[in-house]
Amino acid sequence: MIKVYKSTQQRRQIAVRAKIRKNSTLPRLSVHRSLKFIYAQIIDDKSGNTLAYAFGKDPVEVGQKIAKLSLDAKIKQVVFDRGPYKYHGRIKKLADSARESGLTL
């Protein structure tokens, strides 16, 4: 059966999630962005629980917050889930600031 997707964003999101599921032993850092805010959450897919979350207008601050919260929860390594977004701009700033704050992506 051939699947028909509505947009390139859906194809991108499906491809990203398929790669992440191969490495399912680590929790994932999921990112969502709106016009004003950027949201980040660390999700344990085995139990379906959100372990930490942060949001704000500045992606650098959100990356630092999520790294601090994850390190406090003794999570040092995660898989980065950029979802349907390309890895540039605010998404890249968030990931870079989380790496600089001690989180391994």
11-39 tens-digit pLDDT: 888 888 888 877 678 999 999 999 999 99
- Segment 29-71, tens digit of pLDDT: 999 999 999 999 999 988 889 999 999 999 999 999 999 999 9
CATH class of 25-100: alpha beta
Q: Where are the domains of the chain?
A: 25-100
In angstroms, the CA 45 to CA 27 distance is 7
- The model's pTM is 0.85
Instruction: List b or e across 9-41, with b for residues whose CB sees 16 or more CB atoms inside 10 angstroms.
Output: eeebbeebeeebeeeeebbbbbbbbeeeebbbb
